[in-house]
Amino acid sequence: MCFLCANLLVNKHLPMTENTTTILLSADKSSSRERVEQAIAGLHLAFRVPIQYIETDDSAEWNNSHSVICTRKPGNLWKAMAKSAEEMKATFVCILAPPVAGSMLGGGMGSRMAAFPCTVLYLNPQSNWCKPMSIAMHMGTLSESRQKFYPVSLVSKAFFAPVTICGLTSAKGGEDLRYLHIYCNQAEEVMAKKGVRYQSNEPEHGVDVVARLLELGQAKSCQWVSILNETDSDGLFKTSTLQHLCNKATFPLLVTPRQEVVGVGGSGY
């Protein structure tokens, strides 16, 4: 199966182009107007399309302008945004809001992100908008971590931001390490094929993935971190990697929801 066909099995929407790109944004009422304006301006400049501002029951009010189209959607912010993303065939979503708490049995940010059909740029209250100077793309031992290839390449090219491929796993040995190296190598191949500037860090195993991703996000000015909403370090009775990052990050998170893919090319990248 060709790369594009495998990709379209995962992302039911068309690739980002001037005619097909739909970007949704919403911010909760506690978000400062300046932060929201910066996010709208940055996304509008990069993708060159009007930003669809979704005003939910929990959202800050906004007005139409040359770069913003406002749409009223009833319901809480997360459910209304996920529903809007599906209905409007969004290619990209940006949300500025406090993280939703979960439990060791699940819920929280993992379940919120899983409801979206596309990648979500998430900024918690301590993360300010910044144009990405680089994107750190986490690769783990789950085959679905390759589902980030397509959205990361699109965002990278829109912002002219190079990608750093970061293979990280808490696993200490065995078959997992072989897959980690395979997926990192495939990431290099895809980024090269898509014409994306990239560099690769040496894959690391037996590490605290949350701590390393927090370090990577803070290592460079204006760096975004790309992750799947599930990682190989997650497990029952453990707070997920995503939840920790949504709680603690001081940088934007580019979260790709894991998609169930049926058929040939089942990893969906």
User: Is 62 a residue whose pLDDT tops 90?
Assistant: yes
Question: How many Cβ atoms from other residues are within 10 Å of residue 261's Cβ?
Answer: 17
- Architecture of the domain defined by 134-256: 3-Layer(aba) Sandwich (3.40)
Residue-wise pLDDT tens digits, 16-47: 444 468 999 999 999 999 999 999 999 999 99
Q: Map residue 258 onto helix, strand or coil.
A: coil
At 30 the pLDDT is 95
Angle at 19 between CA 16 and CA 25, to 5 degrees: 60
CB atoms inside a 10 Å sphere around CB 173:
8
- Arithmetic mean of pLDDT over the chain: 88
Share of the chain above pLDDT 70, in %: 86
Of 261 and 248, which is predicted with more confidence? 248
Q: What pLDDT, on a 0 to 100 scale, did the predictor assign at position 2?
A: 40
Candidates 246, 225, 233; CA nearest to 108 is: 246
Among 87-96, 180-189, 259-268, where is mean pLDDT lowest?
Answer: 259-268
Which segments of the chain does DSSP mark as H helices, in order? Answer: 3-10, 33-47, 77-87, 108-114, 149-159, 175-193, 209-219, 241-248
- Strand 120-123 to 253-256 pairing: antiparallel
Instruction: Specify the higher pLDDT residue, 236 or 131.
Output: 131
pTM (predicted TM-score)? 0.88
Token pair belonging to 99:
């993280």
Mean pLDDT within 121-148: 95
**Model pLDDT, residue 264:** 44
- Give the pLDDT confidence of 164-211 residue by residue, as tens digits: 999 999 988 888 899 999 999 999 999 999 999 999 999 999 999 999
> What is residue 239's predicted lDDT score, i.e. its pLDDT?
82
In one-letter notation, the amino acid at residue 33 is R
Task: Indicate the pLDDT class of residue 66, thresholds 50, 70 and 90.
Answer: confident
The pLDDT of residue 237 = 52
Give the contacts of 51 (CB within 8 A, at least 6 positions apart). Answer: 23, 24, 25, 40, 43, 44, 67, 68, 69
- Give CA–CA dist 128/158, Å, rounded: 19
SS3 32: coil
Residue 230: how many other CB atoms lie within 10 Å: 19
User: Where is pLDDT greater, at 1 or 50?
Assistant: 50
- Residue 5: pLDDT band (50, 70, 90) is very low
Q: Which of 252, 249, 207, 247 is nearest to 231 (CA)?
A: 207
| 146's tokens | 């390759």
Predicted confidence (pLDDT) at residue 162 exceeds the cutoff of 90: yes
70, 64 contact by CB (below 8 A):
yes
Please give the single-letter amino acid code of residue 105.
L
What confidence tens digit (pLDDT) does each residue in 106-132 have? 679 999 999 999 999 999 999 999 999
HSE-up of 229 (CA within 13 Å, CB side)?
Answer: 23
* Range from 116-130, 141-155, 161-175, 221-235 carrying the lowest mean pLDDT: 221-235
Give me the pLDDT at residue 107, please.
76
The answer, yes or no, to whether residue 80 has pLDDT greater than 70, is yes
All structural domains of the chain with their residue ranges: 21-97, 134-256
* Pure H helices in 48-107: 77-87
Determine the pLDDT at residue 20: 63
